[in-house]
Amino acid sequence: MFLKKINNLGNTLLFRLTVLHTIAFTLLAIVSFAVFYYRIYSVTMERMDEELLEETEQHDALLADSGLAGIRSKMAEESEFEDPTEEFYRLLDFNGSVLFETDMRPWGSVDKTEVLARLAADDADPVFQTIVQPRGEFKARMISAVVGPGIILQIGETLEEADDYLEIFRRLFSILIIILIIVSVFIGWYLARRAVVDMEAVTLTAEEISNGSYDRRVKVTGQLKEIEKLSTTFNKMLDRIQILLRSMKEINDNIAHDLRSPLARIRGIAEMTLVSEKPVEEYRDMAVSTMEECDSLIDMINTMLDITEAEAGVNGAADEKFDLAALINEACELFRPVADEKRIKLDCHFPATLLFRGVRKKMQRVVTNLLENALKYTPEQGTVGISASVRNGEVVIVFKDNGIGISEKDLPHIFGRFYRCDRSRSQSGVGLGLSLAKAFAESMRGMILVTSSIDKGSTFTLKFAQ
């Protein structure tokens, strides 16, 4: 049981983020220590080299003033007060012969070959080397420099004091790094917890929605940018889903309410067929009527599904570029016989070519529905006009008629499904044409506007961004 809990903890995002933060912080601390340690070591070596160089210059001056005997005496005097394991002096000639040296036993055989070769050149700079005591625990720093004609001075000084200082620094850092790791664990846990809490809010909201709370949304304010973006996208997805659910509910309600009449008529036809025997021709007429009612039902259902899909933004066809002027001209020619029959003047004004990017079939149905409505609700000898143009970077299509018009109380509702004005009930239709036109127009990033006056006519305007 305990191992299972440990395994589950290791699989959590909170644990992994905390571990990653701790590892990153620890690596950063180690790198910082390495850089700082190297810098301290370099400064220590530079200072020791400066001290050795300064001491060499002093002996060079002493050699110039007191000669070889004077410098020997000085070295012998200094060596009496120094621990032979901490410092040594040696004088050589360019043949490698020792002219003088202090107690060299703790230092073993210090190599002279490389130094003699490097100092043989004229105006050679002093040579600094790091050597190791064969019997000691510490390294030493040695300088070799020419201090007189044919004379080389070597001074070696142990690095014990510097090593002790660096050892103290390493121990302090080890303690500090342990403390920093513990602190970084808590900081990493806190930061990871902040991120996970916001993600848990998204998860909690999703669980509430799955239990039926479709109005719940994730709070966006006061979160990390990434979580804020996730929350915003999640809320947009929920809005789309809610719109789709609402549309589906409306479809169910509409089916239950508005399909009663066609179904009742079909049932009435069937009952009349069964009540009494009739001639074959009457049965054929009843069958045709039944098929017509069925076709009407199918068309109504398909139209409602098209509206729902357009409003929800699903099952959208790909945009294409087509000639909108040609499409409008086809619609005008299609309905011209209807206009001529009612003696309605049909005025069509649009440019020879008007390229438009959108879904051709949707635009075709929008234009057809609006033009059909204009002709349907315009009395005989009336006028219906359709025009298309580009204004201020927008494609504008205007449908204008001088028909029966729409009252002010009906205007806000005309795009609702199955809504029909009182004055339009005498005409055929189910009240889905304008709903479909609006849904299709908005799915192509457009909008539809309407102005109307009773007995003066209506104007429907479509606007699409190019």
3-state secondary structure the chain: CHHHHHHHHHCCHHHHHHHHHHHHHHHHHHHHHHHHHHHHHHHHHHHHHHHHHHHHHHHHHHHHHHHHHHHHHHHHHHHHCCCCCCEEEEEEECCCCEEEECCCHHHCCCCCHHHHHHHCCCCCCCEEEEEECCCCCCEEEEEEEEEECCEEEEEEEECHHHHHHHHHHHHHHHHHHHHHHHHHHHHHHHHHHHHHHHHHHHHHHHHHHHCCCCCCCCCCCCCCHHHHHHHHHHHHHHHHHHHHHHHHHHHHHHHHHHCHHHHHHHHHHHHHHHHCCCCHHHHHHHHHHHHHHHHHHHHHHHHHHHHHHHHHCCCCCCCEEEEHHHHHHHHHHHHHHHHHHCCCEEEEECCCCCEEEECHHHHHHHHHHHHHHHHHCCCCCCEEEEEEEEECCEEEEEEEECCCCCCCCCHHHCCCCCCCCHHHCCCCCCCCHHHHHHHHHHHCCEEEEEEEECCCEEEEEEEEEC
As a whole number, the mean pLDDT across the chain is 80
CATH number for position 371: 3.30.565.10
**pLDDT tens across 400-451, in order?**
999 888 888 888 888 777 766 655 555 665 677 788 888 888 888 889 999 9
Residues 309 and 329 in one domain: no
Residues 100 and 244 in one domain: no
| Average of per-residue pLDDT across 7-17 | 66
369 located within any domain: yes
Residues 27 and 157 in one domain: yes
354 located within any domain: yes
Residues 257 and 112 in one domain: no
Residues 299 and 347 in one domain: no
pLDDT over 70, % of the chain: 81
144 located within any domain: yes
Residues 227 and 289 in one domain: yes
pTM (global) more than 0.85: no
CATH number for position 259: 1.10.287
Domain count, the chain: 3
The parent domain of residue 323 ranges over: 317-465
pLDDT of residue 430: 66
Instruction: Kindly tell me if the per-residue pLDDT of 396 is higher than 90.
Output: yes
Residues 273 and 338 in one domain: no
Range with the largest mean pLDDT of 49-53, 201-205, 311-315:
49-53
Residues 381 and 268 in one domain: no
**pLDDT tens across 334-392, in order?**
999 999 998 999 999 888 888 998 889 999 999 999 998 898 888 888 999 999 999 88
Residues 20 and 149 in one domain: yes
Domain boundary among 293, 315, 337: 315
Residues 11 and 157 in one domain: yes
pLDDT of residue 327: 93
Residues 8 and 138 in one domain: yes
211 located within any domain: no
Residues 45 and 130 in one domain: yes
Instruction: Kindly tell me if the per-residue pLDDT of 460 is higher than 90.
Output: yes
